[in-house]
Amino acid sequence: MRLRPVFLVSLVFIALFSIGFFTWLLGGFGGGVKPGVGVGVPPPDVGPEEDGPWNHRLLIAFSEDGRRWLKTYRVLSDQASVPDVIIDPKGRIRVYYADYYNLGIILAISRDGERWRYIRVKGLNASWVDPDVVLLPDGSYRLYASYMPLHGPQDRILSAISRDGIHFKVEAGCRYRHPGRLVVDPDVFYFQGRWYMIIGPRLTLLESEDGLTFTPVGDLPLEGAVSSTILVEGRLRIYYHHLEADGRLHIYMAETRDLEGWSVEQVLSPGPQGSLDAYGVGDPAVAELPDGGYIMVYKTWIEPPPWISGG
């Protein structure tokens, strides 16, 4: 049976409309990539006693108050680590993370926290890891990252600027450098008229007038690593992980009004044996949602890490 031209045109229109609708629903961006699934193959010179992003998994949790969290056990990506979460000017959730499977920084974007579009961040090479993104007053995005080449010092934090949060241009110089020391996991926030950055491995506070040149303030009185800081009703909430006596990471939250007095509480623990996060929970990334409540993206392990024998 031959189809009438008008009917054919209608089919094409419906198909194009459907593609356009789902593109809009998932963020309105093209150039997507697929996230990793399952454990990856480590680099050839890595021994079985070493841990790395090839065995890391990102999961999602939600909370009404930022203290009590409901785990969804929804996998955002495998072979992925050190996420950062922001809400963009259109109210979409953006998760930037270091992606071992795709060898670079990937952006996962969603309107509802359930359906995600994955986009490769442009303009940065694979030595840029541990992304942390802030929205600037002019609407642009600044991405801070650890610079970790395979050969050479891993002692600095770099930054890049973007109008759309996808295509970045590297900014000149270092935001912070400490020769002879490992410098990782930047966590940048604006508080009481100044820019601050927390770096690792030891949680160390830096400060800056312009967000470009940071100087040390001192180590924070918090036992842990890999922080994510948000501002809630004039108070800072710093989420971070800590290695417990059972050999697993747990997630804590420290709250302060002045970066001097602190209240600390544990907010997320590993799940029971057989659950997707039974081997530990770490690398928390938290953002407040536009309609209330909070989202957390956190790291766990796909297979038992080397320090947990037999799982």
**Model pLDDT, residue 10:** 37
The stretch 11-39 carries a mean pLDDT of 55
pLDDT in tens, 213-254: 999 999 999 999 999 999 999 999 999 999 999 899 999 999
Lowest-confidence range among 43-47, 118-122, 159-163?
Answer: 43-47
Using DSSP's 3-state secondary structure scheme, residue 260 falls into: coil
**Model pLDDT, residue 309:** 60
* The residue to which tokens 């694979």 are assigned: 126
Determine the residue type at 127. S
User: Under CATH, which architecture does the 33-301 domain have?
Assistant: 5 Propeller (2.115)
**Model pLDDT, residue 31:** 57
**Model pLDDT, residue 238:** 98
Where exactly are the structural domains of the chain?
Answer: 1-30, 33-301
Global pTM reads: 0.89
The stretch 112-140 carries a mean pLDDT of 97
Angle at 271 between CA 267 and CA 272, to 5 degrees: 140
Q: What percent of the chain has pLDDT over 90?
A: 84
Closest CA to 86 of 132, 53, 36: 132
Q: How does DSSP assign 261-299, residue by residue? A: S-EEEEEE----TTSTTTT--EEEEEEE-TTSSEEEEEE
Structure tokens at 269: 């623990």
Does the pLDDT of residue 94 top 70, yes or no?
A: yes
